[in-house]
Chains A and B, each alone.
Chain A
Amino acid sequence: MKKTLRFVPLFACLTLLASCGGESTNTSNTGASSSQDTTVDFDTTQEITPLTRDTNSGTREAFFGHIDLEDAASDDSLLTTSASVVASNGDMISNLATDEYAIGYFSFDSITSATDEGVKVVSFEGVTPSEDTIVSGEYSLTRHFNYIVRNDFGGDSVKETIVDAFVAYMGTAEGLNIIQTNGGVVDPETINNAPTWAEISANYPGISDDHSDVTINFGGSTSVEEIARQLSASFSTLAGNFIAHHDHTGSGAAYSGTQGDDAGTLDIGFLSREFNDSEVPAENTSGVICTDAVIIGVNEANPLTNITADQCHNIYALDGTIDTWDDILG
């Protein structure tokens, strides 16, 4: 009897634990559902939590470049002290989905996953971001994805031909289609007018020879990585199965790896931003791949639907005048 009695508190503890677990999952559920149906719950007197990417991000540079905060791209001291840094596009989206009072920006290719997670896309200057508005230029918060190739191949003419042909391939109908399906924004008109690979392959004699012993090094921006991988995979089959080696660390590596301090470590580099003052590519070694847009998002509980560049500036800038959601939604 005593022995069985001894287990009573144990069972009590276990049920308590179980109920705790149940409760916590409950709260997370109700949290999600309550944020779905409500503009009522949204407390506009709360302070805004501006989320930003880190100083090495191309998205950050593009965003701040459009809201009159260019210098803040690489300098946190110009930002409001209530801002928080997130490490990646994915982090940005999950943070926006969790925090009702946050605002942030992310790349256009994540727009579907963002809305799935519970992030609301906000119009910028009255224009809703979509492929059409981005192509037409109405949605102005855009940036280019750029490429840069080596200017000196050290006499390796085979490599040079493949790289040249790859750059041309990015401008063909096949290439542009791949870019588009992987999140890049391309004008449909451009795709229609673009030549096919079959039409231009004759410009690169010997391109379809066996190149299975040639390694081409791709690198640079992580935002462009998916596009680059798909392009190289499909082009490799057209150009003698060369080996495509991808090492994407960030936009900064694109110039330094091809023509800068570490020239030669990359054959082709990609940037999710424009070249800066210290990165001057040699003639005919760089260009635009496609357009990407920066999307401003808030939590889906937030009633905000439109924001202007000026409002963004005042939210993010150190001397900005917008602190609470009342200041915008007012």
Chain B
Amino acid sequence: MQSDIIKQARIEIQRKSALNAEKKKRKDKIVRLFFFFITCICSLIIVIVAGFIIIKGLTPFFKIYTENGHTGSMSFSYFFTGLQFNHGYDQETGTFMYGVGFLVVNTLYINLISYIISIPTSILTSLFIARIAPKPLKKIISTGVDLLASIPSVIFGMFGLGVIVPLVRSIGRAMGLAGTSGISLLAGAIILALMSMPTMISVMVTSLNAIDESQIKASLALGASKTQTNFKIALKNAKSGIFAGIILGIGRALGEATAVTMVTGSPIYGITANPFDPTVTLTTQMLLAIGEATPNSLNYDARFSAGLVLLVIIILINFLLNNIKDIVCSIDRKPSKAIIFLKQLFTNFRNPCYDLKKLK
């Protein structure tokens, strides 16, 4: 009798717990679906943005515009080879000539100069913060760097106009370039470097802080000096973090528009080679008086095409950098065959005694 009651109670408990479990499962499912939904929205944004830019960016090549008494769409060849953004109408081919190719070159050039400034500075600064600076100083400097990262680009632009431009101008004048006004490629590159450095530094410092302390100690114990240890052990171990910092910084610099626009001027023609001359980049051209442009006019739509080009460049550079990162820090991920081959080539370069037969 009693055992029956116990049995029933047990069954009851089992039933309840099964029910409970089911309830929990259902709840889990709902939560999971909810999270999935949120993730979908987030990842859809990139698809929507890319799709929008691709569609808007390709439109000018196919749509027929009527402007200033001419009819036609945008010239495909001039778009990539042109040396002027708005080059008017070509009677022969019946197309409007808007050029973006020279903007790409200018953009890459100004960024290259800014990396020459920012990458070594960032690496050395982060090494100082992570390994050399005494603790109180370390705190002050890292707070400063974090604050620097949160300064909006317009402020950097104002700073550039007030300080960097006159500085570049006096440097230029001192070098005998009497015509330089300071509004120049170099000023833009300096501003870009200042803007991308905080991002680079904070990522690099994090990775340098994460190094296994025992390796440092081992190095010191083997008789290496502190400097040797910092460069050969610390930096080498933090390679992947340093690359991540560089990639993030480059992303920030490539996409920057406001601050650059304020200090580089915007010449209407051609590629700028002299760092003391004004230059015009993709982002600057897109932003330039967009408020004045009539929506759906070619002048307006061509900016979307420039945006598409910028997007492609950023994706390409990111892809390239990630691959370089894989070559340099192959421990992090299993590299593809091409990368192994490149790496072998790379080591081959460094080691003249390398025997080619070994490669086979």
Contacts and interface: CB of A to CB of B under 8 A. Distances in A.
Interface of A: 6, 10, 24-25, 27-28, 31, 43, 46-47, 49, 52-57, 71, 74-79, 81-88, 94-95, 98-102, 222, 249-250, 252-253, 256, 277-278
A74 B170 contact: no
Given A84-B266, A98-B181, A74 B294 contact: no
A76 B292 contact: no
Interface stretch (B50-58, B160-168, B345-353): B160-168
Contact of A84 (B165, B178, B278): B278
A79 to B, nearest CB: 6
Contact of B179 (A6, A94, A101, A253): A101
B294 A253 contact: yes
B89 A87 contact: no
A271 B297 CA distance: 17
A100 B87 CA distance: 28
Instruction: Please name the 7 residue pairs, one residue from A and one from B, whose CB atoms are nearest each other, closest first.
Output: A99-B181, A252-B294, A81-B269, A75-B88, A56-B292, A28-B166, A54-B289
Nearest to A100: B181
Interface in B252-283: 261, 265-270, 278, 280
B163 A25 contact: yes
B97 interface: yes
A85 B167 contact: no
The majority secondary structure among interface residues of chain A is mixed
Q: Which of A24, A43, A87 is the most central at the interface, judged by chain B CB atoms within 10 Å of its CB?
A: A87
Contacts of B66: 278
A6 to B, nearest CB: 7
A25 B293 CA distance: 37
A83 B178 contact: no
B72 interface: no
B85 interface: yes
Contacts of A249: 291-292
A69 to B, nearest CB: 13
Contacts, number: 119
A54 B178 CA distance: 27
B84 A77 contact: yes
Nearest to B67: A74
Interface of B: 66-69, 84-89, 97, 134, 137, 161-163, 165-167, 169-170, 178-179, 181-183, 261, 265-270, 278, 280, 287-289, 291-294, 297, 299
27 contacts: A27-B167, A28-B163, A43-B178, A54-B288, A56-B294, A71-B68, A74-B67, A74-B86, A75-B86, A75-B89, A76-B269, A77-B88, A79-B268, A81-B84, A83-B268, A84-B267, A84-B278, A85-B268, A85-B280, A85-B289, A86-B266, A87-B289, A94-B161, A101-B181, A249-B291, A252-B292, A252-B294
A55 B86 contact: yes
Contacts of B270: 81
A308 B289 CA distance: 28
A222 B178 contact: no
Contacts of B163: 24-25, 28
A273 to B, nearest CB: 12
B65 to A, nearest CB: 12
Contacts of B291: 222, 249-250
Given A24-B163, A27-B170, A83 B289 contact: no
Nearest to B182: A98
B222 to A, nearest CB: 25
B84 A24 contact: no
A53 B289 contact: yes
Contacts of B85: 76
A101 B179 CA distance: 7
A82 B269 CA distance: 7
A284 to B, nearest CB: 25
A218 B109 CA distance: 44
B182 A56 contact: no
B86 A6 contact: no
A115 to B, nearest CB: 19
Nearest to B166: A28
Given A6-B134, A28-B162, A253-B294, A99 B183 contact: yes
Contacts of A99: 181, 183
Given A77-B87, A84-B268, A252-B292, 14 more contacts: A6-B134, A28-B166, A43-B178, A56-B293, A74-B67, A76-B85, A76-B269, A77-B86, A82-B269, A84-B265, A95-B183, A99-B181, A249-B292, A250-B294
Q: Which of A52, A77, A222 is the most central at the interface, judged by chain B CB atoms within 10 Å of its CB?
A: A77
Nearest to A3: B134
Contacts of B162: 28
Given A10-B137, A31-B170, A98 B294 contact: no
